Structure 1
Amino acid sequence: MTLVHCPSAKCQRGIAAIEFAFVFMALFFVIYGIATFGAVLYTQQIISRAAEDGARAVPMILSPPLATDDARIEATVRDSLAAALIAPVSANASPGSRRNWLADNTTVKTELTGASGGGPNTTAIVTVTYRYSANRLLPTLPVLDTSRWMPDNLLSRATVAIPS
């Protein structure tokens, strides 16, 4: 077998297309990875803000006294989540459908610690959990399985001292 030496540009035809294909695939996976991690960070920030909004609402709704898993705190958290862009397009037909979707896909817990009845050492801990694995903002690629890297649930807690 002999190698043919071809110094002309004719022999180099198609090389640029092959190089472009390799570079494009590598660049696409890098950009997709950045976008995927950005979507997770965005969603985590929304969950954190919702927990903080729930904690901020605690001092304002002390009458009647706050109870564990108070519906008023849950409503405040759901309102905060409804203002964000984490619900899919199919659930955005109306504010009610968005809130129903959020109620199915998030968990809100309020725990009271310290003295009971709003004593001086009482704190409220608002915990928000979002099922991210079931509701990813970006689809997964068959070639790149992101389920190994991404969390199943996103969780955030906010604590507030209840004024006496």
Structure 2
Amino acid sequence: MNSPLKDVRQPRQSGAAVVEFALVLPIFVLVLYILISFGVLFYAQLVVSRAATDGARALVVLPGVSSLETLTETQKDSIKQQVINSLAVSLAMTADSGEYAERLALLQSEVLPRIRVDGGGCGTDGAAGLVRVEVRFPYDLVRILPPITLPMVGSVGGGLFDTLTGCAVANL
């Protein structure tokens, strides 16, 4: 028997799903944004550190280099080029960076001036016989998602990591 009273007592649920979806969607999108941004940042940091390590390895195999003082500018340029090649091969840059030759040209102009080959250590003063290869990489070259602004939080994903730094030390 269908009683009109039974229909009145059952609450209508048709609008609740829409309200719940509207409340959960922004949180889900924010978590997804953070996961993607952190993944890109983490990968880019690994690549920059690897490029610095490749530069230090190239330094060790250079003939006739026994100390920082015996390192010529041509040899420093060779080490810097090794770092650039390592970045160009392994870095997933933004879509507008194009093919390998275009990435290489972009890295030559943006990153090459930020590579240092000098004495010292990473995070310390260093000791005699150490040569540091340091790479400072602008994060904007690999940023996939733009920074977003949230109410009561501010900007998320912008300005926190403007420059990624990779450093490696070769013991000569």
Shorter-chain TM-score tier? 0.7 to 0.9
Residues 96, 133 of structure 1: alpha-carbon distance in 2 compared, 3 angstrom cutoff: closer
Does residue 1:155 correspond to 2:165, yes or no? yes
Kindly provide the CA deviation profile for residues 46-86 of structure 1, in whole angstroms up to 9, marking residues without a partner as x: 10000000001112113475236811001100111011233
Structure 1 equivalent of residue 79 of structure 2: 73
Structure with the larger helix share:
2
AA aligned to 1:48 is: S
Aligned-residue sequence identity (percent) comes to 27
- Name the counterpart of 2:105: 100
- Rounded to whole Å, the distance in 1 between the matches of 2:146 and 2:163 is 16
Displacement, 1:22?
1.1
* 1:78–1:148 Cα change, 3 Å: closer
Distance in 1 (alpha carbons) for counterparts of 2:110 and 2:149? 25
- Structure 1, unmatched stretches of 5+, are 1-5, 114-120
Residue identity in the other structure for 2:131 = A
Shift of 1:14: 1.4
Q: Which one is further off, 42-51 or 146-155?
A: 146-155
CA distance in 2, matches of 1:87, 1:35: 14
CA RMSD for the aligned pairs?
Answer: 2.5
**Does the CA contact (< 8 Å) of 1:67 and 1:112 recur in 2?**
no
Q: 5 Å matches for 1:131-142?
A: 131-133=138-140, 135-142=142-149
Q: Which stretches of structure 1, 4 residues or longer, exceed 4 Å deviation after superposition?
A: none
Q: Secondary structure at the match of 1:47?
A: helix
The residue correspondences of 1:33-72 to structure 2 (distance < 5 A) are 33-63=34-64, 65-67=70-72, 70-72=76-78
CA displacement at 1:131 relative to structure 2: 1.1
Any unmatched runs of 5+ in structure 2? 1-7, 121-127
TM-score (norm 1): 0.78
| Structure 1 match to 2:89 | 83
How many correspondences in the alignment? Answer: 149
Deviations 1:31-51 (A, max 9, x none): 211221121111111100000
Cα displacement (A) at 1:18: 1.1
Tell me the SS of whatever aligns to 1:61: coil
SS in 2 for 1:109: strand
Which of 8, 16, 22 aligns to 2:10? It is: 8
Measure the CA separation in 2 of the matches of 1:14 and 1:141.
Answer: 30
2-side partners of 1:126 and 1:88: how far apart? 25
